[in-house]
Amino acid sequence: MTNSSAARSPRTDAVRNRQLLLSAAAEAFAEHGTEVSIAEIAQRAGIGKGTVFRHFATKEDLIAAIMGEMIDSLITTGMGLWDAADPAAALLEFMTTGIELLARDRAFCEVVGRPSLQHPAVRAGIDRLCEVVEILTNRARRQGVIRQDITGQDIVLLLGGVRHTAAPLADTQPQLWRRYLGLIFDGIRAQAAQPLPHPPPRRLEFTGPYCESSH
Amino acid sequence: MTNSSAARSPRTDAVRNRQLLLSAAAEAFAEHGTEVSIAEIAQRAGIGKGTVFRHFATKEDLIAAIMGEMIDSLITTGMGLWDAADPAAALLEFMTTGIELLARDRAFCEVVGRPSLQHPAVRAGIDRLCEVVEILTNRARRQGVIRQDITGQDIVLLLGGVRHTAAPLADTQPQLWRRYLGLIFDGIRAQAAQPLPHPPPRRLEFTGPYCESSH
DNA sequence: GGTTAACCTGACCAGTCGGTCCGTTTGGCG
DNA sequence: CGCCAAACGGACCGACTGGTCAGGTTAACC
């Protein structure tokens, strides 16, 4: 419906600035997490602070736009692996790609790990990601190459988990997460040595207004 | 050396207030993480903001005092399991206790997972914890009940990792971490199905002044 | 009970943040 | 070229933070 009747293509400087803003923000968020100030992002982009809010009404919207792109790229990766020859290897490759993304981007880590802060759009993206991974997981499970009680949602949650395991030493050993991915994937392959002590996770639930309400 | 020559026992209201402060702060940090304001902590304790800074020069010092206590309690748990009959079960019990603690306390999660923000005292506590867990792990490894390439440092890192894996759903499924602890412990038991793709972590290294220097 | 130093308090300070607003600039179109 | 809406920029606002300090209070010792 947008741009339907009184459509007018945006000015060239506006699209240029939007692009500058998006890349500067992506870079800043990756380095420092979502806590970087809008002022710093604007400075990096070489534009005024007001211009930032012209393109994105709130900081949350800006974050959501960038995180949405990252989630989409991960979804694409997942879909590209649907018809891989070895479904276990495909699953491992997907997880590797995902954690590489997380390891490179602090903001992505934060947003993915904290449902109470999530923008509705991000939430929707993660839902789609879960569905994609579910398909990847189902194939592997049906072929019996991973234990039967693992779901796609498990896999998605484990991405953040693996990354966080290695996070405290990430400055000095940036590849350490590969160790824990290996360890956990051994657990995923293991044919249910022990039944898991808790049922699989339910879908992420909507927890009301997406901003931390607390106290 | 402190309190040696001109010692004078602190006033009774001072020790009472210190106690009130410590419990209020512990509660607030557990609920909301290290970001709760000093003002709120003071209000909870029923004391003035100035009194907080009389007992602890900076907010970091207050955090360190409380986190130090938690680490010490975990160290005690670990030492109590040194002579358990089944070393694998002992290790699992230790991890269960540790993650329970993490799951109940947001600030503990934050502090343990972020070396660059750590107070020197906290850092030292974690070092001691690692040594204790190393002993626990060595026993299990020597008896062959866990894979040979796992170290105590791995175990400590995995505590935070497991907790973080389940964190996004912790509001609705507070016990979900037990699922991932089970999964990962299966990986720990597995007799090296695959050699791990990265060497074990080196000790946490001192990264300069404990406050994030960045940008 | 009187003296005093330890203690308590909340107004206050400087700095940060997200977000607003309006005077100014500029790109596109007739 | 000349017009004007769209876009820009940065001073500004209110809310909030960790931390300070002057002045009133009180516990402990003589």
Answer for the pair B162, B99: CB distance below 8 angstroms, yes or no.
yes
Question: Does A87 lie in the same domain as A67?
Answer: yes
CB contact under 8 A, A201 and B207: no
Question: Does A121 lie in the same domain as A75?
Answer: yes
Question: Does B68 lie in the same domain as B33?
Answer: no
Q: Which nucleotide is nearest to A35 (CA to C1')?
A: C17
Coil, strand or helix: which one is B2? coil
Question: Does B199 lie in the same domain as B107?
Answer: yes
| Torsion B82-B87-B88-B93 (CA) sign | negative
Question: Does B105 lie in the same domain as B25?
Answer: no
Question: Does A143 lie in the same domain as A41?
Answer: no
Question: Does A43 lie in the same domain as A128?
Answer: no
- Domain annotation covers residue B4: no
What phi and psi, each to the nearest 5 degrees, are found at residue A169? -110, 10
C-alpha angle B152-A108-B179 in degrees, rounded to nearest 5 = 45
Q: Could you give the CA distance from residue A46 to residue A24 in angstroms, rounded to a whole number?
A: 9
Question: Does A213 lie in the same domain as A147?
Answer: yes
Q: Tell me which chain A residues have a C-beta less than 8 angstroms from the C-beta of B192.
A: 186
For A40, the domain range is 9-57
CATH for A17:
1.10.10.60
Question: Does B34 lie in the same domain as B53?
Answer: yes
Answer for the pair B63, B119: CB distance below 8 angstroms, yes or no.
yes
CATH for A101:
1.10.357.10
Q: Could you give the CA distance from residue A3 to residue A20 in angstroms, rounded to a whole number?
A: 23
Q: Could you give the CA distance from residue B17 to residue B109 in angstroms, rounded to a whole number?
A: 27
Question: Does A71 lie in the same domain as A134?
Answer: yes
Q: Can you give the pTM of this predicted structure? A: 0.90
Q: Could you give the CA distance from residue B124 to residue B64 in angstroms, rounded to a whole number?
A: 11
Three-class DSSP labels, B151-173: CHHHHHHHHHHHHHHHHHHCCCC
User: Residue B181 has what pLDDT?
Assistant: 97
Tell me the angle at which helices A38-45 and A12-32 cross, rounded to the nearest 10 degrees. Answer: 130
- Considering only the beta carbons, identify the residue of B154, B168, B187 that sits closest to A115: B168
Question: Does A81 lie in the same domain as A63?
Answer: yes
Query: Of A170, A173, A135, nearest to A156 (Cα)?
Result: A135
Angstroms from A66 CA to nearest CA on chain B: 20
**Sequential pLDDT tens for chain B (215 residues):** 334 445 678 899 999 999 999 999 999 999 999 999 999 999 999 999 999 999 999 999 999 999 999 999 999 999 999 999 999 999 999 999 999 999 999 999 999 998 887 899 999 999 999 999 999 999 999 999 999 999 999 999 999 999 999 999 999 999 999 999 999 999 998 776 678 888 988 875 544 444 333 33
What six digits make up the tokens of B178? 């037990």
CB contact residues (below 8 A), chain B span 160-179, against chain A: 160-162, 164-169, 171-173, 175-179
C-beta atoms surrounding B175 within 10 Å: 13
Beta carbons within 8 Å of B82's beta carbon, 6+ residues apart: B90, B135, B136, B139
Q: Could you give the CA distance from residue A116 to residue B169 in angstroms, rounded to a whole number?
A: 10
Question: Does B148 lie in the same domain as B162?
Answer: yes
CB contact residues (below 8 A), chain B span 180-199, against chain A: 180-190, 192-199
Q: Residues, chain B, total?
A: 215
Number of separate domains in chain B: 2
DSSP H helices in B33-176: 38-45, 49-55, 59-80, 87-104, 106-112, 120-142, 152-166
